[in-house]
Every structure is written in C-alpha cells, then in structure tokens.
Structure 1
Amino acid sequence: MATATNPAPQINIGIDEGTRAEIAAGVSRVLADSYSLYLKTHNFHWNVTGPMFNSLHMMFEEQYTELATAVDEIAERIRALGERAPGSYSEYQKLTAIPEETGSPEATEMIRQLVSDHETVARTAREVFALADEADDEPTADLLTQRMQLHEKTAWMLRSMLA
C-alpha cells in the first residue's frame, strides 16, 4: 500500500503520463457509452413486447451479457493506464453519447435505437483508437478493435431485422 513514506511505484509502460491520461479519458468515453448501452439493452430485454418478443428478449439478453463483460475489461484497461475508471451514473451521463430511453418504445423502435447506439460506440472507439495507435498502445488499440468489430456486427444484425 502506498503511504507518504512509501509511495506507489511510477508507471513505466513506455507511454508518457500525459498520453496515458489522454488515452484513458477517451477509453472512459467508450466505457460510458458501453455501460449506457448495457443499461438500455437490459431495459429493452425486460420491456419488449409484440410478435418478436421471444427472439428479441433472447437477443437482447445475449447483447447485455456481452456488454457486462466488456465494461469490466474496458474499466480494467483504464486502470492499467494509471487512471481512475468512472463508475457512477452521473459520470457516465457526462461522458456518454448514448441517449437515455426512459419509456417503453415498440419493438422496432427499440431495434432502431440499438442500431444507432451500437454505431455510436463504434465511432467513439474509432476516435480513441487513433490516439492509442499514435502512442503505440497496442493493448488499448486491440481492445478498441475488438469493440468496434463487435458493435459494427451487432448493428448490422439488428439493422437486418428492419429490412
């Protein structure tokens, strides 16, 4: 444990402190978007109705379960970069680009919103990827690449349901 007489060791992973903080701030936006999408997807899982109920209920469960795992990995990357991971609704609200849904839209509107939201997370990850790539931060770049791939694929699958 770090104390006044025994400070925590400095982070020396080949990325300077300022760049690490900038990358972590970007990854915090990805975390906020991902957590907000998790919450919305879980809400839709609970409240979906109509003829597509069973398939959407199960699909939304798969999606929010994946997001629950992802937010942990994203937060742990922020910590590995030496920064505090945001972890409150108020922090996420300030950082996210995902609009909140407090009502119970019909199933096709839920799908439309989730398409847009998955695309939003992919765009946020893509913006932060540029910072990580420039800093040769391969672990963050890899995490962001995986997130972009997942969100783009999920958006495509959901979009296909609207065709």
Structure 2
Amino acid sequence: MEQLNQIGLQKADSKQIADKLNELLANYHLYYQNLRGFHWNIKGVHFFQLHAKFEELYNNALTKIDAIAERILTIGQKPLSSFTDYMRVSSIKEEAGLSGAEETVRATHQNLTTLIGLEREILTLASESDDEGTVGLISEDINENEKTLWMLNAFLS
C-alpha cells in the first residue's frame, strides 16, 4: 500500500494534520459567525469604528476558512462542511446577545487566542512532517492574528 499522498507527504501525517486543520476550520466558522453578530448588533460610541472592524475581520475569516478547507483537500483529506460538525468540534462557542464595545472586543480577543493556540499546534505537526505548504499557510495566519490581537489589546487597555 502506498504510504505517500498525491503531493508526496506521508498519508498518516497528513491525516493527523488534517484532523487539526478541521478543528481549526470549525473554530474559524464559529469565530466568523460571532463576528457577523457583533457587526450587526454593535451599539454605543464606538459603533462606526467597530462596525467596520468586525466587517473587516469577518471578511478576512471567510478567506481563511476557504484556504484551510482547500489545504485539507490538497493533503488528500476531507474538510468538515456542516454546522453540526463545526459545533461539535469547535472550542469557540456561539456568542449571542453581545452589543457593547468592550464585551464584543473581549470575546473576539478570546476567540483569536483560541485560534492562535490551535495554529501553533498545527505548525508543530506540519513542521515535524515536512509539510511546508501547511507551515506557510499557518505561519502567515499566526502573524496576522497576533497583530490583530495586539490591536484588540490596545483597544481594551
């Protein structure tokens, strides 16, 4: 039986990486949905600033969702594609009823912290498996998410 997938990576390693990527995918879907809700429901003196920022973040998350799913397919695995699976797998939970600046930014901060933690786990797995495609995808995302986290910290301080 062939041990390598269609791009020359070990199938067993790719399966393990895909499992973690699917966990990231599920978490990104909940992060995305939370951002949509914050965008729609934000109120207060920071409305204009946060309404635009949440839209920017959810549009960015949607692009990342697609990239993660396509990477899972590239390494020969199948991405999760139902909200039932996303809710089951995600450690990020739905946020309902939040409309204040501080509470929505704090929730976004926590969600990003969760995403970065998962990404660091994936980065380690991918590095150990010589999966440079996943390393590149995840490294770029960590850098961007860390910058966003820094900005959210600045807002909250």
Q: Which category describes the TM-score, using the shorter chain as reference length? A: over 0.9
Name the residue aligned to 1:45: 39
Aligned mates of 1:126, 1:161 — CA distance in 2: 25
Q: CA RMSD in A?
A: 1.2
Aligned mates of 1:78, 1:12 — CA distance in 2: 12
Aligned mates of 1:132, 1:26 — CA distance in 2: 10
TM-score by length of 1: 0.90
| Equivalent pair of 1:116/1:155 in contact (CA under 8 Å) | no
Percent identity reads 35
- Quick one: which of 61, 68, 72 aligns to 2:62? 68
5 Å-filtered alignment, 1:17-96, equals: 17-96=11-90
The letter for the 1-side match of 2:36 is H
Which structure 2 residue ranges, 5 or more long, are not aligned?
A: none
Aligned mates of 1:118, 1:97 — CA distance in 2: 12
Give 1:133 deviation, angstroms: 0.3
- CA deviations over 1:87-123 (Å, ceiling 9, x no partner): 1111111221212112224221000110111111011
Name the residue aligned to 1:121: 115
Give 1:13 deviation, angstroms: 2.1
Q: Does 1:13 align with 2:15?
A: no
SS class of match (2:92): coil
Name the residue aligned to 1:107: 101
Q: Does 1:98 align with 2:86?
A: no
SS class of match (2:96): coil
Aligned length: 154
- Quick one: which of 146, 152, 156 aligns to 1:152? 146
Aligned mates of 1:125, 1:143 — CA distance in 2: 10
Aligned mates of 1:123, 1:52 — CA distance in 2: 29
Give 1:18 deviation, angstroms: 1.1
TM-score by length of 2: 0.94
Name the residue aligned to 1:3: none
Name the residue aligned to 1:135: 129
Aligned mates of 2:136, 2:153 — CA distance in 1: 26
The letter for the 2-side match of 1:147 is D
Which structure 1 residue ranges, 5 or more long, are not aligned?
A: 1-9
| Equivalent pair of 2:126/2:132 in contact (CA under 8 Å) | yes
Give 1:158 deviation, angstroms: 1.1
| Equivalent pair of 1:115/1:156 in contact (CA under 8 Å) | no
